[in-house]
């Protein structure tokens, strides 16, 4: 590095090889890298390259992001996986940006970008590390339908360097709240022939797809009207694993007697094709009360509470797309704890994320807790807010949307 005095100003000339500069930038924080765009044209070209953006994201430390909807916005805080220490906290929208409606829902997170929905109508992409956001165009094929009957998913497609949002509608039904933590929607999603809207950030436009037959059974009333397919969404947050968006659902074929089954609907971000992933075969014989899915160290994972018990099972699909590769990762019994807990997710180090309420107290305060399977201890790491529904996802900083 050489320093030259010119017109009473200090001018710094960097003589490092570009390979060293790139190595330094790849390990720098996202906000700093974005600032370095203005150093010179060669730095701008390097930082704007999609390959650099992906490499930079891969080198960032992976954390757990917690998203909590509040009146007027969404709070996203980043936490360490081990002790859940808060690293950063960001609020969307900021004071300079006023929303048209205060209710916000968390859709998902991928490659450092968070997808949010305002009142199930307006969709936003937001990079909390650098503060940039984009409101998606509203002219999509599903515009005008009942707001509460729209399900969203979000993910990054690396081959074309594109972020995509998927919107699916329910052809009928209403929604109800079974408990204070999770919305179960008794509607008909992913039914053959229904329209699916797909947004491409690269093209900044929506397009329409037609839903294929995933369930391989008669989806319409028979001659006697005794057969009909019903699907319901068990977990409203989408999860990205192996280049596909996933939603956890249950479905049943209504006849004189019906059997409800769990399933995971997957949308391939590259081929834009749907498929149905079956859960572990043993789960179809049990009554499952609380379920969710997550990305555990790059594997599709399923969290279940079989029946009215204190036991929580975590399943991992070791070979993506192969239903016979499901294996029970861990089984946790919280019966000896003085709290009632619901599973919310799993951190990258294997700690179980819970929403807990104290047992036997008149005032049912809610807490965000972590359970360490190794020490078999549970620790409260935050107090929940009434009416709020915390969502968790794997997160690492990026410079996308810069």
pLDDT tens for each residue of 21-45: 999 999 999 999 999 999 889 999 9
pTM above 0.75, yes or no: yes
* CB within 8 Å of 380: residues ≥ 6 apart: 356, 367, 368, 369
What are the angstrom distances between the C-alpha of 63 and each of 134, 205, 218, 367, 393? 23, 31, 44, 20, 9
- Exposed (0-12), middle (13-18) or buried (19+): which is 399, by Cβ within 10 Å? buried
Q: What are phi and psi of 38, to 5 degrees?
A: -90, 0
Separation of alpha carbons 291 and 257, rounded Å: 23
Residue 322 pairs with which residues in a beta bridge?
none
Separation of alpha carbons 352 and 149, rounded Å: 31
3-class DSSP string for 55-100: HHHHCCCCEEEEEEEECCEEEEEEECCCCCCEEEEEEECCCCCCCC
Query: What does the pLDDT profile of the chain (402 residues) look like in tens digits?
Result: 443 333 444 455 557 788 999 999 999 999 999 999 998 899 999 999 999 999 999 999 988 888 887 666 788 888 887 777 888 888 887 444 455 555 788 999 999 999 998 876 789 999 999 999 999 998 666 665 544 578 899 999 999 999 999 998 876 554 444 444 344 444 678 888 888 999 999 999 999 999 998 887 544 444 444 346 667 777 778 999 999 999 998 877 655 445 677 889 999 999 999 999 998 888 866 666 678 899 988 999 998 887 656 688 899 999 999 999 999 988 888 766 556 777 778 887 888 888 777 655 555 677 788 888 888 888 877 776 555 667 888 899 999 999
Q: How many CB atoms lie within 10 A of CB 101?
A: 12
Yes or no: say if 260 and 215 are a contact pair by the CB < 8 Å rule. Answer: no
The distance of Cα 171 from the centroid of its chain, to the nearest Å, equals: 24
Yes or no: say if 302 and 286 are a contact pair by the CB < 8 Å rule. Answer: no
Q: What are phi and psi of 18, to 5 degrees?
A: -60, -30
Task: Give the model confidence (pLDDT) of 298-356 as tens digits.
Answer: 999 998 887 656 688 899 999 999 999 999 988 888 766 556 777 778 887 888 888 77
User: Mind giving me the DSSP string for 303-348?
Assistant: EEEESSSSEEEEEEESSTT-GGGEEEEEEEE-TTSSEEEEEEEE-T
Separation of alpha carbons 338 and 360, rounded Å: 9
Token pair 């070209």: residue: 45
The distance of Cα 363 from the centroid of its chain, to the nearest Å, equals: 31
Task: Give the model confidence (pLDDT) of 369-388 as tens digits.
Answer: 888 888 888 887 777 655 56
- Counting DSSP H helices and E strands in the chain, the numbers are 4, 28
* CB within 8 Å of 245: residues ≥ 6 apart: 108, 153, 154, 155, 166, 238, 239, 266, 267, 269
What are the angstrom distances between the C-alpha of 302 and each of 40, 195, 247, 328? 47, 28, 11, 9
Among 156, 81, 112, smallest CA distance to 351 is for: 81
């Amino acid at each position: 590095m050489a320093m030259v005095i010119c017109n009473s100003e200090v001018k710094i000339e960097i003589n490092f090889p570009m390979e060293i500069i790139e190595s330094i930038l790849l390990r720098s924080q996202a906000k700093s890298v974005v600032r370095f765009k203005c150093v010179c044209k060669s730095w701008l070209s390097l930082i704007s390259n999609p390959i650099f953006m992906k490499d930079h994201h891969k080198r960032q430390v992976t954390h757990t992001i917690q998203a909590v909807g509040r009146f007027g916005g969404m709070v996203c805080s980043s936490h360490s996986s081990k002790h859940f220490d808060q690293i950063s906290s960001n609020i969307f929208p900021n004071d300079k940006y006023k929303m048209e409606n205060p209710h916000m829902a968390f859709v998902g997170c991928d490659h450092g970008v968070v997808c949010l929905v305002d009142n199930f109508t307006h969709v936003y992409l937001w990079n909390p590390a650098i503060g940039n956001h984009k409101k998606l165009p509203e002219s999509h094929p599903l515009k005008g339908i009942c707001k509460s009957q729209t399900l969203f998913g979000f993910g990054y497609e690396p081959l074309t360097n594109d972020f995509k949002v998927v919107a699916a509608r329910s052809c009928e039904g209403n929604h109800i709240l079974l408990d204070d933590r999770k919305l179960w929607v008794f509607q008909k999603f992913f039914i053959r022939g229904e329209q699916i809207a797909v947004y491409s950030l690269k093209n900044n436009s929506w397009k329409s797809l037609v839903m294929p037959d995933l369930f391989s059974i008669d989806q319409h009333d028979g001659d006697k009207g005794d057969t009909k397919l019903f699907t319901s969404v068990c977990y409203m947050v989408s999860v990205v694993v192996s280049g596909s968006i996933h939603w956890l659902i249950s479905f049943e074929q209504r006849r004189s007697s019906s059997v409800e089954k769990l399933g995971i609907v997957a949308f391939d971000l590259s081929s834009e094709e749907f498929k149905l992933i079956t859960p572990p075969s043993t789960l179809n014989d049990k009554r499952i009360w609380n379920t969710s899915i997550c990305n555990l160290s790059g594997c599709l994972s399923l969290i279940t509470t079989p029946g009215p018990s204190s036991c929580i099972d975590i399943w991992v699909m070791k070979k993506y797309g192969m239903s016979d590769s499901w294996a029970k990762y861990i089984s946790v019994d919280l019966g000896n704890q003085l709290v009632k807990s619901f599973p919310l997710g799993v951190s990258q180090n294997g700690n179980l994320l819970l929403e807990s309420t104290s047992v036997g107290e008149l005032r049912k305060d809610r807490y965000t807790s972590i359970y360490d399977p190794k020490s078999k201890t549970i620790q409260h790491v935050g107090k929940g807010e009434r009416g709020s529904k915390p969502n968790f996802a794997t997160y690492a900083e990026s410079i996308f949307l810069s």
